[in-house]
Structure 1
Amino acid sequence: MSRIISIAIAAVLVFTLLSGCSGDASEPARRAGNVPAGESPRGAVKIKYVVPGVESRDHMEVMAAVNRKLADDGIGVEVEQRFIPPDVWEQKINLMLSMGEEFDLFHIMQDRVPFSTYMGKGALADITASVEKYGSHLKKAIPQDMWDGAQAEGKTYTVPTYWVEMASEGQFDIRLDMLRQNHLDVPRTPEQLLQTMQVVMNNWKGKRKPYLPVKGDFDPIAVHTTVLHRAYDSFPFTVKDKLFYVNQSGDVLSWIETPEFRKDAEFMRKAYTMGLLHPDLLVMKQEQVKAQLDSGEWFVYFGTGGSLGALRKVNPAAVNTDVDAVYFRPEKPYLRPLTIKNSNAVPVTSKHADEAVRFLDWIYASQDNYDLIQYGFEGRHYTTDGERDVQKLKGYSGSETQLGNIHFIRTNKVSGLPANNRVLYQPNDQAQNSVAANFIFDPTPVKAEYANVMSEAAASVTPIYMGVLAYDEAFPAALDRMKSAGLDRVVAEYVRQFREWRGASGKSSIEGRDSQ
């Protein structure tokens, strides 16, 4: 027995020595601190922050440095991040909320499950007082119209993430290197886009066909078919909550019954029959779309995507200006369909709402704080040019979509795509908000009909909208099923609530945003 104990003690001593040697002694104390990964600064209130994603290799070490700096800055908060794989995120977070599990902060992707859905289930804490008391940096870094969009009945229920200029909605990426190779000009209309895509598809030399990278959905914002809307005479308008067309005059219509829906569907049908869409797009997952972009086997993408490294897999001579961000009819207004795309909320089960807000506020208190949590240790996980450039190295990566802010974001000038950086990460002072951008629909009065309509739309409308079924042949029966599910009553309730909200808000039909 004594021999076993001696071996165990020796092992512990060796592990201790190795652990001491493995630390990065050159890391500045103000960044790395002296708190080993997994330990807590004294006196700090520990909060749990739940996010979709996968933990980076050096995540624990960076978070130890974050917690040390939180302590040094007198914030009194320690943060523990819990990662949930993206493919099971919604199921897991819904289970945690429904079971009353105690945690303090979680991420919301507004274009997938809006905060109003969680709020309607009574899952979110009112953080109005916490933001007022501890959110001075948050309020400075995030525009007021976004805060307006985070409220219901004058109460704040989530902290918006101003990581992207939402007026970027409505543009598409196109590869200029492929245009040059095929002696083509940038398409200026949807019809020209189809013709251009067909030429490039026929001449493609890659291993896989450069299908338009989309997956099945009937929501224009989710699949970025909003790029087509700028070409229509009726623009500007937007589609809210997948079902409702709203123009800037405040008119609300059933989206699937509009001429614009039909135009979208007919465009996608042409693309599908021309072989420009993946034959299995109805069952594709977002991970498959991303994999296509990462492979470089693409020519046009609705939205912003891709990277220089991916382009060079197909064209070794590609440069970062070989992708352009294009808007149809650029003379038309730039529209934000939403003011909030992502946010972070405090669940009602949390006992530390103040601390959660103080943590978020601390991130935007300085560029140093932001850089630490987003990029890790300078010189080890990233380098900069002393201004806004960032070159990310290996070992750690934060999430701009979860905690980013346009006023602090660093972009990659070397291998990033300048066209995308411009439309995504620079405020567009010429843009206007949709009149419905901050409207929150409460489906409770038509709960059963709303659930039935959404389910029926996913089954019947999606194949039509994505071009798999012809509009003329399939739409009449699909509309009958939607009507039977309760579409008319849902639309009428939306109209009623929207009109009441507009009357109560006292706001103009077109809202802008003050530049900062």
Structure 2
Amino acid sequence: MKYLVPGTEPKDYKEVFQKVNEKLAADGVGVEVEKIYIPWDAWDQKLNLMLSTGEDFDLFHVMQDRTPFSSYYNRGALADITDAIKKYGQNLKKYIPEDIFDGAKINGKYYAAPSYWVEMASEGEFDIRRDILRENNLKEPATPAELISTWEIVMKNWKGSNKPYLSTRADFDPIFLHTSILHRTYDTFPFTVKDKFFYVNQSGEVKSWIETEEFKKDASFMRELYTKGITNPDILVMKQEQVDAQLDSGEWFVRLGTGGSLTGLKKYNPEATVNDIGVVWFNPEKEYLRPLTFKNGNAVPVNSKHPEEAVKFMDWMLASQENYDLVQYGIEGKHYTKDGEKGYKPIKDPNNNNNPGYRGSDSQNGNVNFMRFDLENSIPDNNKVLFEPNPKAVNSIAANFIFDPTNVRTEYTNILSEASASITPIYMGVLEYDKAFPAALEKMRKAGLDKVVAEYQKQFQEYQATLK
């Protein structure tokens, strides 16, 4: 079976997956897996093309905060894997909580297998460099205004060769960008933004996100970052590889969401420790909201000739720690060594920029019941917020709602492409809201925004009625 994932093929991928396939055979699973890596910047285009032409593959990675599985379902691109999960998914059902698995259902049928790798209530925080705060005699910012003034001082005093800009791939979706850090400071919180376009609060009110006061406030914050030279000047054309390279270089100060490692920090500050990245929440006393029940998963395309094999492979991964370790960490003794029950030590490969020759992906296939941590290099604050359940967290009332755009398909496609052109530059702060927004909104309305929002509101009301 062929499994499509975004990213770059690890140096020793073939060697590791030969072992994976040997173990699958030895365990009598009857599945052979080939992973096909597609570069990040080509992922959406290539995957959409392969789905629309019915190309031959059997499993692909889904990022709910980028293109939710419901979007593929609505195009008729997904296989119903309910029976396969019943027959072959015992470990998937055992190690993925039911309320999370329910988020992968449409009309009572499973169309994806969630990766239970992260606590979704981690949405709304950012990482800050404590070593850089100390270097500049600064304290941790407690408000967006303090964050900007602190960042300005850091930029002015920066000793590295590359400025610690805000770097990210441009978008207008606060869940994708993690600009949701700002939302905790608004009186209207808790609310979330679903499917890029729809503001939903816990009372069940649905509005057009780009027309809200909250969108305007976000854009104003981003404009200040941009005009003060804090945002990377190339923000609208940045690729994921550039964003990753900045983190890896250690030349960064703030990361929306989580990121970073000790190896990267030490490139800038040889004295850095794993405690030099801290997690910050504005208004930590407020509720912690899960915008989605799961962030990543895997789905089977409707044209797959091996849907059951795809489910068998995912299930086999969770059948033992040994299977999981092989897929995620590679060959013991060559790519890593175990470090206690839950730890591992990556083995550096001088022929691979001193990175291990192989590493799987937590977001693609991770499960908190099996994950290991690099106890020397990983960041304790990040591990806590990402991988420990938050008992205070609540699900957004829209977390498991799935929008079906069939009735507004043309308009929905049109507003997606129009928003990328007209709304993203405003939300990223490159264009000034007051000057650019009226014309952009006019274009969005012409593309069919009002009709899509009305359809979303109607379906959401119907969905809520089914829960009563």
Same fold flag (TM > 0.5): yes
1:427 pairs with one of 389, 392, 396: 389
What corresponds to 1:28 in structure 2?
none
Question: What are the within-5 Å matches in structure 2 for residues 142-153 of structure 1?
Answer: 142-153=96-107
Q: CA deviation at 1:432?
A: 1.2
- Take 1:216 and 1:482, find their aligned partners in 2: how far apart are those partners? 18
For residue 280 of structure 2, give the secondary structure of its aligned residue in structure 1: strand
5 Å-filtered alignment, 1:204-215, equals: 204-215=158-169
Q: Distance in 1 between matches of 2:51 and 2:363?
A: 22
Higher mean displacement: 73-82 or 316-325: 73-82
Cα distance in 2, alignment partners of residues 164 and 486 from structure 1: 35
In the alignment, which residue of structure 2 is the partner of 1:436? Answer: 398
* DSSP-derived class of the 2:274 partner: coil
CA distance in 2, matches of 1:104, 1:275: 45
1:396 to 334, 349, 358: 358
- List per-residue Cα deviations over 1:40-78 (Å, max 9, x = no partner): xxxxxxx22222233223322222222222222222222
2:323 equivalent among 369, 386, 407: 369
- Amino acid in the other structure paired with 1:106: F
In structure 2, distance between residues paired with 1:187 and 1:418: 20
Residue 57 of structure 1 corresponds to 11
User: Does the Cα contact within 8 Å between 1:383 and 1:390 map onto a contact in 2?
Assistant: yes
1:126 pairs, out of 80, 84, 87, with 80
Q: Give the structure 2 partner of residue 487 of structure 1.
A: 449
Aligned residue for 1:350, secondary structure, equals coil
Deviation of 1:343 after TM superposition, in Å, equals: 1.1
Amino acid aligned to 2:196: K
SS at match of 1:118: helix
Q: Deviations over 1:299-341 (max 9, x none)?
A: 1111111221221222111111001011111111111111121
Unaligned 5+ segments in structure 1 are 1-46, 507-516
Q: 1:500: which partner in 2?
A: 462
Number of equivalenced pairs: 460
Query: Is 2:296 the partner of 1:334?
Result: no
**Alignment partner, residue 468 of structure 1:** 430
Cα deviations across residues 97-151 of structure 1 (Å, max 9, x unaligned)?
2222222211112222211121112111111011111111101111112211111
Shift of residue 180, structure 1, vs aligned partner? 0.7
Task: Return the match for 2:21 from 58, 61, 67.
Answer: 67
CA distance in 2 between counterparts of 1:497 and 1:177 reads: 49
Q: Which amino acid aligns with 2:13?
A: H
Higher relative contact order (CA 8 A, sep 6+): 2
| Equivalent residue, structure 2, for 1:186 | 140
TM superposition shift of 1:462: 1.4
SS in 1 for 2:334: coil
8 Å Cα contact 2:121-2:288 kept in structure 1: yes
**Partner in structure 1 of residue 198 of structure 2:** 244
2:269 to 293, 315, 320: 315
Q: TM-score with structure 1 length normalisation? A: 0.87
Structure 1 residues 455 and 100: alpha-carbon distance in aligned structure 2, compared to 1, 3 A threshold: closer
Give the aligned partner of residue 411 of structure 1: 373
TM superposition shift of 1:372:
1.1
For the 8 Å contact 1:198–1:274, the answer to whether it is kept is: yes
Matched position secondary structure for 2:66: coil
Contact 2:342–2:372 (Cα < 8 Å) also in 1: yes
1:234 partner SS: coil
1:173 aligns with 2:135: no
Please, which runs of 5 or more residues in structure 2 have no aligned partner?
A: 348-355
Aligned to 1:380: 334
Determine if contact 1:104/1:350 at 8 Å carries over to the other structure.
yes
Equivalent residue number for residue 111 of structure 1: 65
Given candidates 32, 35, 49, the residue that maps to 1:95 is 49
The CA RMSD over aligned residues, in Å, is 1.4
Distance 1:197 1:408, change over 3 A: same
TM-score, normalised on structure 2? 0.95
Is residue 355 from structure 1 mapped to residue 317 from structure 2 by the alignment? no
Q: CA deviation at 1:225?
A: 0.3
Contact 1:167 1:334 in 2 (8 A): yes
Give, in angstroms, the shift of residue 457 of structure 1. 1.6
1:388 and 1:266 map into 2 onto residues whose CA distance is 43
| Range with bigger deviation, 261-270 or 479-488 | 479-488
- The alpha-carbon deviation at position 360 of structure 1 amounts to 0.8
> Could you say which structure has the larger radius of gyration?
1
Structure 1 counterpart of 2:204, one-letter code: G
Q: What code does the residue aligned with 1:470 have?
A: E
Residue number among 110, 119, 125 corresponding to 1:156 in the alignment: 110
> AA paired with 2:246?
Q
DSSP 3-state at the match of 2:36: strand
**2:107, 2:5 → 1: CA distance?**
27
2:454 aligned with 1:454, yes or no? Answer: no
How far residue 455 of structure 1 moved from its aligned partner, in angstroms, is 2.1
Residues 213 and 293, structure 1, Cα contact 8 Å, conserved in 2:
no
User: Is the Cα–Cα contact under 8 Å of residues 269 and 467 in structure 1 kept in the other structure?
Assistant: yes
1:396 partner amino acid:
Y
CA contact under 8 A between 2:408 and 2:452: conserved in structure 1? yes
Percent identity between matched residues is 63
Retained in 2: the 8 A contact 1:126–1:155?
A: yes
In 2, the alpha carbon distance for the partners of 1:342 and 1:196 equals: 33
What secondary structure is seen at the aligned counterpart in 2 of 1:173? strand
